[in-house]
Structure 1
Amino acid sequence: MFRLIMPVFLIVLSIGYLILTFNMDQAKVGNPNAPMYFPAMIGFFLLIISIIYLVQEWKKRGEIIEEVKELVSGRTPVLIGVTVVLIFIYTFLFERIGFLYSTTLFLGALLFLVNGRKHWLQNIIVAVVFSFLSWYSFAELLNVSLP
C-alpha cells in the first residue's frame, strides 16, 4: 500500500490545481478564459499521468519495494534531512541577504554536502558561477527584479 501514496497525492494535487485554475479571474481584454487555457492543460496532463501512475502501482502493490529499503539505509536519510534543513535556512536568508548571496551559500553548502571537502575548489566555483549567472540572466538580461 506504500506504493499508492504518491500517485494518490498527485491525483489530489492535480484536482486541487484544476479547481484553483477554474477559479482564476477572467481576462478583462480579449478572450475572458484565455488565462485558464495553459494552466488547465497542465492540470489535466498531471491528472492523466497520475491516474496512469496509480494503475501501474496498483498492479505492483504486492511486490516488495527494494527502492524504499535502499532509501532508508546508508547515507541517504542524512542527505535528505540536511538538505531539508538547508532549504529552510535558504528561505530564511533569501529576503534578508538577497538572491545572489543566499543562493551562493545554499548551493555551496549543498555541494559540500554531496561532494565533500575533497572537491572544495570545484564546489566553490560552481556555487559562485551558477549563482552569478542566474542572477545576471534574470536581473540584467530579463529585467526581473530579484531581492
Structure 2
Amino acid sequence: MKWFKLGMPVFLMIVGLAFLISAINLPKANLGNPNGPLYFPVGISILLIVLSVIYLIQELRKAREANDHIRELFTGRTPVLILSTIVLGVVYALIFETLGFLVSTILFLGALLFVVNGPRKWVSNIIVTLAFSFMTWYAFGELLGVSLP
C-alpha cells in the first residue's frame, strides 16, 4: 500500500507533464488570441503537477513520521521489555507441562511483573501474581471444570 501512496503522485506528475507537452504542441488559433486554446489545458496540466508534488511531499512526511515512531519504539527500555516478554513466554511454554498451570503461571507472571514494574514494587507484584494465578486456577479448574495441567 505504501508504494501506491508514493507511486500515485509520481504517476500523476508524469501524466501532467505529458498533458503539458501535448497542450504546448497544440496548433495556434487562426482567429482571436493565437494562444487561446493553450490556456485551459496548460493550466489544468500545471495544476495537476503542482497538486501531485504537494501530495508527494505530504506522503513523504507521513512516511518519515511513521519511521520516527518505529525508531522511538526501539529506544529506551522498550527493547528490553519486548525481549524479556518473549523470553519469559518461551520459558513459560516450556515449563507449563512439567510444573503445571499454577506454579508456571506464578513464576511467569511474577517474573514479568518484576521486569515491567521493577523490584521497588515487590509487594504489589507478589500480590497481583498470587491473586491472579489463584483466581484463574479456581475459575477454570473449580468453577468451569476445565482440567488444567
TM-score (norm 1): 0.58
60 and 138 in structure 1: CA distance in 2 versus 1, 3 angstrom threshold: farther
Which residue type is aligned with residue 73 of structure 1? T
Deviation at 1:70, TM superposition (A): 1.1
- Verify: 1:106 aligned to 2:108, yes or no: yes
The alignment-based identity, stated in percent, is: 55
1:1-147 aligned at under 5 Å gives the runs 63-64=63-64, 65=66, 66-147=68-149
Paired residues in the alignment total 91
For the aligned residue pairs, the C-alpha RMSD in angstroms reads: 2.0
Taking a change above 3 Å as real, the CA distance of residues 130 and 60 of structure 1, as seen in their structure-2 partners, is farther
Comparing both structures, which one devotes a greater share of its residues to helix? 2
- Structure 1 stretches (4+) deviating beyond 6 angstroms? none
Larger Rg, first or second structure (1 or 2): 2
The change in CA–CA distance for 1:63 and 1:99 in structure 2 (over 3 A counts) is: same
Whole-angstrom CA distance in 1 between matches of 2:92 and 2:147 = 18
Change in Cα spacing, 1:74 to 1:95, as seen in structure 2 (3 Å) is same
TM-superposition CA deviations, 1:75-118 (whole Å, max 9, x none):
10111011100001000110000000100110000000010000
Give 1:67 shift.
1.9
Tell me how far apart the structure 1 counterparts of residues 109 and 72 of structure 2 sit (CA, whole Å).
26
The TM-score, its normalising length taken from structure 2, stands at: 0.57
Deviation of residue 136 (structure 1)?
Answer: 0.2
Q: How much has 1:60 moved relative to structure 2?
A: 5.8
Unmatched runs of 5 consecutive residues or more in structure 1: 3-58
Structure 1 residues 60 and 103: alpha-carbon distance in aligned structure 2, compared to 1, 3 A threshold: farther
